[in-house]
């Protein structure tokens, strides 16, 4: 009987220790994630989605208006509203989990380069069904860029306007679905899902922003257009975001997306101007280190290096992505240094698993 009691006690002790280890893994150093998750949800994600919804709806309404009464003045207004939507998109593009993942928001909104031949085929046949997977690069912001800014085509043609209406209607619809899901209950779910295990809000956020930074910011906006992600190394100006707009808009989009990444890390909301709890506070609270020094300080230092490299990029990405490839290469290199901190040091400090895989293994 005594042996059985001892055995039972031993089992309970092992279970207690195991549970304690799991609990410690969930909340490193007892850090309370409540303020962090509330700040992300209430001051960044929801307000940014609200702004995105408003911008897509304004664009949709203006496009509907010009369809009834076509004139150049309204077309200029549409172009201004399109730019507003693009800039607003840079803020919410990081949050591809939960409601956004359910509607494949990123893929349906900003898959580029645009399949211009496919767009022309759909316009000529009046095919306004945008639901097929094969249409991902024939709609969204890249298709609007092509239709609105290509000097060789007349956007005021009825069939083209019909297609623009279809695109802007879908953009506004998807934006509203995601925003309504957040305000309809998902925000509460997000704030209540504490810990660091797979599926927790910190895990979703860290995986989401790191994946976006790596694939869509570093590679999509810099590496691929500059030919840094291909065996040939040949620059691909046709793969630049917002290809058809002349001037510095591609660089403006890059800056906006990068600034949002830093804001998410720091817990700063440019929409509400609130400077709340961020990943920086989390790392400082648990005393996270890299190479014996503050991990937060290392990240902030690398933020500055990336900012400097972006400032040195030419204003017009096309054709300068060819002529000044070395500057794009430098930005890509500085971004890669930041990714190493994000994919290795931050997850190991927080006890979060980076669950996505990248083809280059970095």
Report the range of poorest mean pLDDT among 15-19, 256-260, 294-298. 15-19
Alpha-carbon gap, residue 360 to 336, rounded angstroms: 12
At 28 the pLDDT is 57
At 67 the pLDDT is 84
For the beta carbon of residue 23, count every other beta carbon within 10 angstroms: 11
At 250 the pLDDT is 97
In a domain, 355, yes or no: no
Residue 268 β-bridge partners: 275
Alpha-carbon gap, residue 256 to 217, rounded angstroms: 11
At 29 the pLDDT is 62
Alpha-carbon gap, residue 344 to 339, rounded angstroms: 8
CATH code of the domain in which 36 resides: 1.20.1420.20
In a domain, 8, yes or no: no
In a domain, 340, yes or no: yes
In a domain, 7, yes or no: no
At 11 the pLDDT is 41
- Local structure of 247: helix, strand or coil: coil
In a domain, 118, yes or no: yes
Alpha-carbon gap, residue 57 to 108, rounded angstroms: 16
In a domain, 225, yes or no: yes
In a domain, 271, yes or no: yes
Report the range of poorest mean pLDDT among 191-195, 273-277, 350-354. 273-277
Its domain, for residue 96, covers: 28-350
Asked whether the predicted pLDDT for residue 2 surpasses 50, the reply is no
In a domain, 5, yes or no: no
- 131-167 pLDDT tens trace: 999 999 999 999 999 999 998 888 889 999 999 999 9
Counted domains in the chain:
1
**pTM for the whole thing?**
0.91
At 22 the pLDDT is 44
């Amino acid at each position: 009987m005594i042996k059985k009691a001892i055995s039972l006690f031993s089992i309970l002790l092992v279970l207690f220790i195991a549970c304690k280890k799991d609990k410690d893994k969930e909340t490193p150093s007892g850090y309370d994630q409540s303020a962090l998750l509330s700040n992300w949800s209430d001051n960044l994600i929801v307000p940014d989605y609200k702004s995105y919804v408003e911008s897509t709806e304004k664009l949709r309404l203006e496009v509907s208006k010009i369809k009834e009464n076509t004139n150049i003045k309204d077309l200029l207004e549409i172009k201004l509203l399109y730019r507003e939507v693009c800039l607003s998109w840079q803020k919410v593009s990081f949050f591809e989990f939960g409601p956004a993942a359910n509607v494949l928001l990123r893929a349906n909104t900003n898959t580029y380069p645009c399949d211009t031949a496919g767009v022309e085929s759909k316009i000529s046949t009046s095919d306004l069904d945008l639901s097929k997977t094969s249409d991902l690069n024939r709609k969204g912001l890249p298709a609007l860029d092509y239709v609105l800014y290509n000097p060789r085509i007349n956007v005021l043609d009825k069939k083209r306007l019909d297609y623009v209406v279809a695109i802007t209607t879908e953009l506004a619809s998807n934006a509203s679905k995601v925003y309504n899901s957040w305000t309809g209950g998902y925000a509460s779910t997000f704030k209540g899902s504490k810990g660091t295990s797979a599926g927790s809000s910190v895990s979703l956020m860290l995986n989401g922003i790191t994946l976006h930074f790596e694939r869509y910011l570093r590679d999509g906006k810099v590496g691929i257009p500059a030919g840094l992600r291909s065996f040939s190394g040949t620059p691909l100006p046709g793969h630049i975001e917002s290809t058809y707009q002349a001037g510095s808009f591609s660089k403006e989009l890059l800056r906006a997306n990068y600034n949002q990444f830093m804001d998410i890390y720091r817990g700063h909301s440019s929409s509400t101007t609130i400077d709340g709890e961020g990943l920086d506070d989390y790392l400082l609270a648990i005393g996270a280190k890299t190479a014996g020094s503050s991990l937060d300080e290392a990240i902030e230092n690398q933020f500055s290096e990336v900012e400097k490299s972006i400032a040195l990029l030419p204003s017009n990405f096309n054709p300068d992505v060819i002529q000044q490839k070395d500057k794009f290469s430098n930005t890509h290199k500085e971004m890669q240094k930041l990714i190493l901190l994000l994919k290795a040091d931050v997850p190991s400090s927080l006890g979060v698993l980076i669950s996505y895989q990248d083809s280059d293994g970095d």
